[in-house]
Every structure is written in C-alpha cells, then in structure tokens.
Structure 1
Amino acid sequence: MNASLFLLILRARMRIILVTFFVTVVATVLVSLFLPKTYTATSTVVMNTKGTDPLTGMTLPGQLLPGYMATQVDIISSKNVALRVVDQLKLAQSPAVLEEFNRATEGKGSVRDWLADLLLRKLDVAPARESSVVDIIFKGADPQFVAAVANAFAEEYQRVSIQLKVDPLKKASSYFDEQMKTLRDNLETAQSRLSKYQQEHGIVSVDNRLDVETNRLNDLSAQLVAAQGQVMEAQSRQRMAHSDGAESPDVASNALIQNLKINLGNAEAKLAEVAQRLDRNHPQYQSAKAEVEKLQRDLNTQLALTSQSVGNNARILQQREAAIREAFTEQRAKLLELNRGRDELNVLSKDVESAQRAYDVTAQRFAQTKIESSSETSDVMILNPAVPPVDASSPKIALNIALSVVLGGLLGVAFAILAEMLDRRVRTDADLASLDLPLLGEIDWKASQRPRKGWLRSSMPSRLRLN
C-alpha cells in the first residue's frame, strides 16, 4: 500500500473516521464531566544530610549511605506512620467511618488498620532525584481532608524519625545506668582494699620510705665493707703478734715497750761491764743482774699485754662486723618486704585506676546518651506544608479532550483500514492489474472539458482517457 492508495482509502472512508472521532471525543467529554473530582495535596519535607548531629556534633554515617533515601520513603509509607495519622486525625471515632467499615468488612478486623490501608492506597511518596527533598502526595475528594492528611503524614513521619533515634538511646541509657552502679561498686571495693592495705602496713608514701630504706641499706653495705677490711687487718696483726711479737708493728710502735727495750739494753750493757770487773757474787753484780731480769719480765709482760690488746681489738672488730652484717641482712629483708609491699600496692592502685577509668568512661557515655535520649531534634524538617487545593487534579477535561482528539483520529483511521480490508474496493489501476483484468481507460475527474477531434473522440466523455 502506497501513500496515494492510503489517502484514497481515507477519503473513501471519511464517514467512518468522522463518526469514530466524534464518538470518541463526545464520550471522553461526558466521562470527564461525570467523573468525581479528585484533589491532590503535597507536603514537602527535607532531610538533613550534612552528616553532623546538631546536639552532640558527632558524625551521622547513616545519612551518607546509598539506601538512606529509600529507607526514609519506606518509613513514610509504613503502617506505623499511617496508624499515627489515623489517631492524630481521629478518623476511627467518626460514626460515618465506623458505619462504612462495618459495611465493607462486616465488622471483621480493626478499624484503625482498615483506615491505615485506605490512606496508604491514596498516598504517594516521591523523592527528588538529586536532592534531599521528599514530596508526600495524597489524593482524595475533599480538598481540606487531603491537605490535612498530607500534613499529618509529614508531622507523624517527623515524630517517628525522632522516636527511631531516641528509643535505642533510652535503652542504651538504661543499660549504662545499670553498668554505672556495678562499676561504682567495683571502684569502692578497690579503694577499700587499697586503704585497708595501707592501714595494715602503715604505708603513707611508699616511694619516699623506699628511698630512705635504700639509702640506709647502702650505708650499711659501705660500713660492712669497711668493717670486713678492718677485721682482716686486725686478724693479720693478731697472727703476727702471736707468732713474732718483735716483728709486730703494734709491738714495735708501742712506746712503753720501746722504752723497756732501751732500758733493758742499758741494763744488760751495765751487767756486762760489771761482770768484767766483779764476780757473780758481788752485790753490784747481783743488783745489775736483778735489774736486767726485772726489765726482761716487764718487757715480756708488756709484749703479752700488747699481743692480748691486738687480739681483743680483732675480736671487737669481728663483733662489730657481725653486728653490721646482721643489720645489713635485716635491712635488706626489710627493703625486700617494702618492694613486695610496693608491688602489691601498685597492683591495688592499678585496680583502683582501672575501676576509676572504666567508671569515668561509662559516666561520660551515660551523660552523652542521656542528653541524646532527651533530645527532640529531628533530621527531618517540613519545607512546604500542604494547603487545600483550589482546582481538582483530575479529571483534566482539556487534557482528556486533547488526548481524545488524538485517540479518536487514530481509531478512525484504524476503523477505516479495517473496513477497507473487510470490503475491498478498486481504487487505482494497480488494483485491476492485480486482478489480471484489462484496463480500457481512466476517468480524470479533474480534467477540463475541451472539444475532441475525430469521430471517436467526440463521441466519448471528455474525462475519459482511452488506453
């Protein structure tokens, strides 16, 4: 089918096209006039996607997730929000609504759930593509009612968003409160153990006392080393004094013994001189001999006394060294006891510090959670509240007529083609050629009537053209 044939078909079937077009337009106008009017109200809300809590200053990563807007749309269109809207507008208390509910459900189920389902059917939530704005759209027959319902959905969604944020914080606050009681008891127990240990051991300042005792131990250690040196020297002098008194430095340095030795030498020299001159029985000889013997006895006595004094000094030094050693041992044991006590005290102090740190962290978290749980701030703000619409959103008569014109024209053309297919007519010479029939001539309805030459041409109509 070419274009010329299509136009010939449309021309031939113009009555069908016009009737179909007229019927479609008239039917659309009548339906649009008799359809009930529907009003649409839109309440716009905006999400706070800055990612920061205005109360605590903490980052809110949930708002940065890809599915955040989809989650908010699901919350707005949830059954919980719809039930809150029903309660806010007190729809379930209307006698007309109760009568309609009983007629529709025969009293089965809950009127609140039934109303919530009805509201959700007429609700549409449209989030913006590249912004944080969400349109809450509600349709109905009453302009005042649809605006009230749209605003109620926005307000209840705002309250639900606050509740979803606050309820977990309240539970966390209750949990932290219980934990604080336990941690406070642990802290008091650790502090009491530390205080009891300090009182039992008389510890005021472990570090200062430990420094004093350490200095004392160092002093005793130095005294012990010095005493051991003195004892070794005294023992050596004692052995030398007992083995060879003359060679002993203590004997040699004794002034009395030196005088006695000098006197003894003089007396012996005198005795030798007298022995050369006198006989042994001479009184001078006897006197000189008695003096020498007396000096010798005195010298031996002083040597014995000196050796004994050296031994006594050695024993005294040994006793002093033993006393210092004993004091050093006691001081070392005392210092070890102090170190052990300090370790135990450090353990108890660390227990107190750990308990205090845990209590402080929990108290800080509890205070923050308590503040957050009592906050009524929301991440949702109502940007544009819904107002009662003046004009109905549907039916749109002008748009419906325009669409009916297009649809009527398309249906008319379709019916014309269908009629042509059901009742095929010869429109052009190509149709005869397809039927294998000879073409004798054509009538040109637009040709002018001019005189023909010749007897054959003058006898035929002027619009007839012979082949």
Structure 2
Amino acid sequence: ETAKLNETSSQLTQIQAQTTDSQSKRQNAKADTVAEVMQSPLINGLKADIARLEAKLQEGNVILGKNHPQTLRTESELESLRSQLAAETRKITSSIDTTYQVSRQREEQLKKALATQKARVLELNKQRDELRVLRNDIDIAQRAFETISQRAAQTNIESQNSQTNIAVLNAAAAPIEPSRPRILLNVLVSIFLGTLLGVGLALMLELANRKVRSADDLSEALDLPVLGAIASAGRSLKRAGGNNKNPSSGPAALSGARA
C-alpha cells in the first residue's frame, strides 16, 4: 500500500507539471509564441507563402496598380493563405485546450486517489500498531502463564516430598443406605401434587363448561327469579306408572292426549 501511495504521488506530480505547461501555453496562445505553432511545418510553410505574396502584392500595387487583375488575384491568394494559417493555429490552440482539460480532470482524479490511499495507509498503520500491542500482550500473558506453570509444578513436587511420612489411620466405611433417591418423600410429594393437579383440572373444566344443575344455578346465571319447575316427561311418566296401574294413565294416556 505504501508503494502504491508513492506511485500515485509521483503520477500526480507529473500530471500537475503537464497541467501547468498546458495552462502556460493557453495563456500565450494569442501571442503566437506557442512551441507547437512555431514548430509546425505546415504553419511555417503558410507563413513563408504569406510573406512571399505580401511582397508580391506590394510590388504589384506599385507597378501594376491596386485594381489590376494580377494584383487582385495575388490579394485573394494572400487572404486564402491567411485564413488557412488562422485555421491551423486554432487547431493547435484547441488541442492545447483539450490537453489542459484532460490534464485537469486527471489531476483531480489523482488527488482523490491519493487522499484515499493516504487514508488507507493510515488505517493500515493503525491496525499494525494495534496488532503490535496485542502481540506484546500475548507475549506477556504467555510468560506469566509459563511462570505460573513452573511454580505450580514446583509446589506439587514439594508437597509430594513433604507428605512421605503420612499414613492412613482409619479406612472410610461404605454407607448403609443410599442417599438418593428418597422414596418416601417422593411418594408423598407425588400424591400431594397429583391431588392438587386433579382438583385444579376439575375446577378449570367446570369453569370452561358451566352447566345448570339446580334452580339456584339458573337464577344466578340469568339474574332472574325462578317462577316454577317442570319435571321431564320421562320422569313424570315413570311416576304416573308407578302410582296408577290404569292403562289410561301413563304412556297410553299421553299418546291419547297427543292424538
């Protein structure tokens, strides 16, 4: 990234020099002193022809007169050469303007690229510094771990050496009863929780599906007093059949009444 930064900076320096040169040529283009104009063979040839025709025109004006056909033809040729010279000069100056604009755009691009590259290099340097600090912390932690490990090993060896005269006085006895599971406690807890769960479930079912089982339930549900109770048909017939053996009573009587 640093090498790329240096390369971008070098390119920017070169393009800035080109931009300065193009700007200088633009400013001097009207004075007809631009190197491209002065070194152009076509322009130099046109200037030589113009100088020759100007001398010929002066001579024709003196000898033949201004209105002579030959003098007028020479003047026309001179004007044509001057127009060609101006056109070629404009081409070169236009080319200089184009080069200047391109150089300016390239310079701006390189400036932005250089700024981006500088920011990237600074970020990389920052990351390298952070990485260097982390590596230093890791080295310190590694050395501390090695020191602690050495001390632990040394302490272990010293403890083994100091306990060579220790003897077992009484052997540990195996337990008679298991510590887990506690069967009686588990059974009691299960019974209690089962009873509590059954009662709760019954209450939930009752609340979810309320039924009318008495006149009080109906009065409480409708918030109205009970005027009377009508026994079911089956129960009335059973009572009638049990109290009276008369065929006209009971189901037969009910059927006759329906008819």
CA–CA distance in structure 2, aligned partners of residues 323 and 235 of structure 1 = 18
CA–CA distance in structure 1, aligned partners of residues 155 and 8 of structure 2 = 61
Equivalent residue of 2:66, what SS? coil
Equivalent AA in structure 1 for residue 68 of structure 2: H
Q: How far has the Cα of 1:271 moved from its partner?
A: 2.1
Aligned to 1:364: 150
Residue 274 (structure 1) aligned with residue 60 (structure 2): yes
Q: How far has the Cα of 1:286 moved from its partner?
A: 2.2
CA–CA distance in structure 1, aligned partners of residues 44 and 11 of structure 2 = 35
Unpaired segments ≥5 residues, structure 1? 1-212, 379-467
Q: How far has the Cα of 1:274 moved from its partner?
A: 2.6
Aligned to 1:158: none
Aligned to 1:76: none
Tell me the alpha carbon deviations over residues 400-445 of structure 1, each in whole angstroms, 9 at most, x when there is no partner.
Answer: xxxxxxxxxxxxxxxxxxxxxxxxxxxxxxxxxxxxxxxxxxxxxx
Tell me the alpha carbon deviations over residues 242-298 of structure 1, each in whole angstroms, 9 at most, x when there is no partner.
Answer: 4x1x22333212222111111111122222233333243333222211110000011
CA–CA distance in structure 1, aligned partners of residues 152 and 52 of structure 2 = 108
Aligned to 2:139: 353
CA–CA distance in structure 1, aligned partners of residues 35 and 154 of structure 2 = 88
1:315 to 101, 126, 130: 101
CA–CA distance in structure 2, aligned partners of residues 368 and 262 of structure 1 = 105
Aligned to 1:227: 15
CA–CA distance in structure 1, aligned partners of residues 83 and 22 of structure 2 = 26
Unpaired segments ≥5 residues, structure 2? 165-259
Aligned to 2:42: 256
Aligned to 1:305: 91
The alignment yields a C-alpha RMSD, in angstroms, of 2.0
Q: How far has the Cα of 1:225 moved from its partner?
A: 2.1
CA–CA distance in structure 1, aligned partners of residues 139 and 114 of structure 2 = 36
Residue 237 (structure 1) aligned with residue 25 (structure 2): yes
Q: How far has the Cα of 1:317 moved from its partner?
A: 1.7
RCO higher in 1 or 2 (8 Å CA, sep ≥ 6)?
Answer: 1
Aligned to 1:330: 116
CA–CA distance in structure 1, aligned partners of residues 34 and 162 of structure 2 = 104
CA–CA distance in structure 2, aligned partners of residues 267 and 374 of structure 1 = 122
CA–CA distance in structure 2, aligned partners of residues 329 and 341 of structure 1 = 18
Aligned to 1:292: 78
Equivalent residue of 1:247, what SS? coil
Q: How far has the Cα of 1:376 moved from its partner?
A: 5.2
Aligned to 1:283: 69
CA–CA distance in structure 2, aligned partners of residues 263 and 308 of structure 1 = 24
Q: How far has the Cα of 1:377 moved from its partner?
A: 9.3
Aligned length: 164
Q: What is the percentage of aligned positions where both structures have the same residue?
A: 37
Q: How far has the Cα of 1:373 moved from its partner?
A: 1.9
CA–CA distance in structure 1, aligned partners of residues 83 and 131 of structure 2 = 70
Equivalent AA in structure 2 for residue 369 of structure 1: T
Equivalent AA in structure 1 for residue 3 of structure 2: N
The 5-angstrom pairing of residues 62-461 of structure 1 reads 213-242=1-30, 244=31, 246-375=32-161
- In the superposition, the TM-score normalised over structure 2's length comes to 0.58
Equivalent AA in structure 2 for residue 290 of structure 1: S
Conservation of the 8 A alpha-carbon contact between 1:223 and 1:324: yes
Equivalent AA in structure 1 for residue 12 of structure 2: L
CA–CA distance in structure 2, aligned partners of residues 320 and 258 of structure 1 = 33
Q: How far has the Cα of 1:337 moved from its partner?
A: 1.0
CA–CA distance in structure 2, aligned partners of residues 255 and 368 of structure 1 = 96
Q: How far has the Cα of 1:330 moved from its partner?
A: 0.8
The structure whose residues are more often helix, as a share, is: 2
Structure ID, larger Rg: 1
Tell me the alpha carbon deviations over residues 335-393 of structure 1, each in whole angstroms, 9 at most, x when there is no partner.
Answer: 01111211222232223222222211111221222222222599xxxxxxxxxxxxxxx
Q: How far has the Cα of 1:307 moved from its partner?
A: 1.6
Q: How far has the Cα of 1:326 moved from its partner?
A: 1.4
Aligned to 2:230: none
Equivalent residue of 1:295, what SS? helix
CA–CA distance in structure 1, aligned partners of residues 147 and 12 of structure 2 = 54
Conservation of the 8 A alpha-carbon contact between 1:250 and 1:310: no
Q: How far has the Cα of 1:235 moved from its partner?
A: 1.0
CA–CA distance in structure 2, aligned partners of residues 350 and 376 of structure 1 = 39
CA–CA distance in structure 2, aligned partners of residues 266 and 371 of structure 1 = 116
Equivalent residue of 1:375, what SS? helix
Equivalent AA in structure 2 for residue 267 of structure 1: L
